[in-house]
Amino acid sequence: MTDLWPQIEPLLARVSKPARYIGMEGGAQQPQHAPDKVAWLLAYPDTYEIGLPNQGLQILYEIINERSDGVAERTYAPWHDLEALLRERSIPLFSVDTHRAASDFDLIGFNLSAELTYTNLINMVDLAGVPVRSADRRADHPLIAAGGHCTYNPEPIADFLDIVVLGDGEEVVAEITEVVGAWKRGARSDGDREIVLRELAAVSGVYVPSLYRPVYSGFDFMGLEPVSGGVPDLVEKRTIADLADFPYPKSQLVPLTEVVHDRLNVEVFRGCTRGCRFCQAGMITRPVRERPAEQVRSMVADGLRRTGYDEVSLTSLSTADYSGIESLVSDIVGASGDGPAITVALPSLRVDAFGVGIATQLQHGRRAGLTFAPEAGTWRMRQVINKLIREEDLYTAVEAAFANGWRRVKLYFLTGLPTETDEDTLGIAELARNCVEIGRKYAKSPSVTVSVGGFVPKPFTPFQWFGQNTIEELQRKINLLRDATRRMHGVQVKWHDPKATLVEGIMSRGDRRVGDVLETVWRNGGTFQEWNERFDLDLWLSAMAEHELDPDWFTHRHRTVDEALPWDHLSAGLHKDFLWQDWRDALAEVGLPDCRWTPCYDCGACTGYSIEHIVASATPPAGGSQGTGQDLSSSWVPVDLRSSTGVPV
């Protein structure tokens, strides 16, 4: 192996934030390499600050290092200042743990969470000294793997990946390690690469793009077919049945320098069945699997003691839905006793008084801001997207927030949703104005920030057939909203750049032809495209034109029921006819209840894998199965709406 530290060290005094390249985090593993061990380099295709907190990578980092036949280290995308110095001196991409060259590893496994990071992945493979296209790699090159939510349509980046892993990684990472280990111990030759890829394709949850080829008719995509026999027609995602079996990370990394989500994170459940139709995460991670409260409590207590953090986030897609959330939270807050005060954070707050009640219990001290996500401006629009929050729910929540001392409220919305009219867009302004009005009863200058993101239809959601709004249309709606709120005192509007939304759309539902565009954009310097100051739409449009691909065809066109989709050979468990029915229900403005507390409508996620929801309580939390029809008298809600002093109650 090569320890690159002596070569890297002199460069670090010349780059921004050098601490992101030194490793040394609290809780870092001591990787022990050995010739018979499979060495994984776990990679996040963005900066250290964004990538380090990624829980998926931290879980795999521990699981692999616990194995006697595996060892894992980590790497992140070097910022362009260091990249330039590395390239100038021909120093390859390195791990942050022991500063070992990336090409010394058997696998480089990327977490893919955002489409705009794809060019960073290609760049990191290139920096590792590995050919960027899988077809050009030889036996002694590392296998390039990817997991994470974006892999539910890996086709745009398929030509650059050797293997793609669908779903939960906790179990499948062991099976991959075993297959690669057996291959490594045998004699490698160039023909072997295909042999090991074929063996990996036999592992459930593993998709090997090179073993499938796309079929086109004219310009139309007709599907993917196996290149030869022996590989599955349909690759299923992996799902762990019980989160309690995987209390990871056991020793969360504590970085020496500041990162996003810089706190202890404890995952309280995985999966969500609220059924928001725009939400890919909620669709692909079903069913709901709660971690037992006792395990959560001990992970929080151990984690705080070990890390020295004074803040813990209880993570999931909708933490207020955890059964027994109230007692869990009061236990955690109570357990700190006379010791230092612990702040408990919930990443997403439900839009009702119940959610605010929990927040009231959590946030001691200063109450800066609370965030809600009504997602759409009118009840009609919210029925279409199945986010069944009534205006009263939002107003009750906002009133509770202001009454309990919060002064700033942030509201998240999507624009460019199916069937959206200007009335729906202006509804956002109306909601914001009413929220400020409510705030005036409690505060002199209440503030409501409206944050608007352009909607990108995602694979394996009911909206996968929907034609995304154009840049012009999104911008028109944003302008409409901006004009409508211009004179509203206390309302600020922020928005995501619609140009970036277009590129996300191309990658979200593109097919393999889009890979050429990625390579061209990368070759023209288009890395860190998820960073505003680096994003360049012209790079993307000129690459699309160069490869004779039409952005309209990929993004703005409605798909038909019989059209082959680039991810039809993959399965998240969801029946395609369930999704199609849900799409029709959306257009008919019909809502769908949360199946945790109502009868099964057979989406396929449980039945297909013979697993079930693991929910400790059979009764829905206060607020009902969708946050509607709340009966605040029937259940304890820790909110006193009469309090106007801002003093916690």
Partner 1 sequence: MRIRIRYRKLGKVRFTSHRDVARCWERAFRTSGLPIASTEGFSPRPKMHFGLALSTSHESLGEYLDLDLRDPESAEVDLEQLPIELSSHLPDGIDIDAVAVIDRSEPSLQESVTSCIWQIEVPGVTAEELVTAVARVLSASTLPVVRERKGRPVSDDLRPGIVHLEVLDAISTEESSVGAMLHAELATQPRSVRPSELMAAFDPPLEEGRVRRIHQFITDNGATREPLPPGAPSMVLTSVSAT
Nearest to 42 by CA among 67, 73, 2: 73
Backbone angles phi, psi at 155, to 5 degrees: -55, -45
Told to check if 331 binds partner 1 by CB under 8 A, we report no
| Contact flag: residue 9 with partner 1 (CB under 8 A) | yes
Nearest distance from residue 253's CB to partner 1, in Å?
13
x-or-dash pattern for partner 1, window 257-296, by CB under 8 A?
A: xx--------------------------------------
Tokens of 499: 């140009």
Binding flag, residue 181, partner 1 (CB under 8 A): no
Nearer to partner 1, 308 or 334 (CB): 308
Does residue 306 touch partner 1 according to CB under 8 A? Answer: yes
The DSSP letter of residue 490 is T
Closest CB 350 distance from partner 1, rounded Å: 26
Q: Which of 109, 215, 199 is closest to 161 using CA atoms?
A: 109
Asked if residue 648 binds partner 1 (CB under 8 A), the reply is no
Which of 21, 94, 183, 442 binds partner 1 (CB under 8 A)? It is 21
Pick the closer one to partner 1 by CB: 18 or 467. Answer: 18
Quick check: 365 binds partner 1 (CB under 8 A)?
Answer: yes
At residue 109, φ and ψ (nearest 5 deg) are: -110, 115
Ranges assigned E (strand) in 538-584: 570-571
Q: What one-character DSSP code corresponds to residue 93?
A: P
* Residues binding partner 1: number (CB under 8 A): 28
Cα 539 vs. chain centroid, distance in angstroms? 25
Burial of 174 (0-12, 13-18, 19+ CB in 10 A): middle
Please give the backbone phi and psi of residue 61, each rounded to the nearest 5 degrees, phi first: -55, -45
Q: Rule CB under 8 A: is residue 366 a binding residue for partner 1?
A: yes
Which one, 30 or 633, has the nearer CB to partner 1? 30
Find out whether 638 and 325 touch, Cβ atoms under 8 Å: no
The interface mask with partner 1, positions 232-261, x = CB under 8 A, is ----------------------x-xxx---
Using the contact rule CB under 8 A, the part of the chain among 15-23, 199-207, 288-296, 519-527 near partner 1 is 15-23
Name which position in 1, 3, 10, 219 contacts partner 1 (CB under 8 A).
Answer: 10
Rounded to a whole number of angstroms, the minimum distance from the CB of residue 315 to partner 1 is: 20
Task: Please identify which residue in 2, 26, 585, 648 interacts with partner 1, judged by CB under 8 A.
Answer: 26
* Closer of 12 and 333 to partner 1 (Cβ): 12
Which string of b and e fits 417-452 if b means at least 16 CB within 10 Å? bbebeeebbbbbbbbbbebbebbeebbeebbbbbeb
Rounded to whole angstroms, the Cα distance separating 125 from 160 reads 9
Q: Which segments within 296-391 are labelled E, that is strand?
A: 311-315, 343-345, 369-375
Q: Check binding of 12 to partner 1 (CB under 8 A).
A: yes
Please enumerate in sequence order all residues whose Cβ is within 8 A of that of 621, keeping only pairs 6 or more positions apart, or say none: 320, 321, 323, 325, 354, 635
Residue type, 73: E
Residue 242, classed as helix, strand or coil, is coil
- Contact string 457-496 vs partner 1 (x = CB under 8 A): ----------------------------------------
Q: Which of residues 258 and 577 has its CB atom nearest to partner 1 in the complex?
A: 258
| Torsion sign, CA atoms 226, 229, 233, 238 | negative
Closest separation in Å from C-beta 16 to partner 1: 10
Task: List interacting residues with partner 1 (CB under 8 A).
Answer: 5-6, 9-10, 12-13, 17-19, 21-24, 26, 254, 256-258, 305-310, 340-341, 365-366
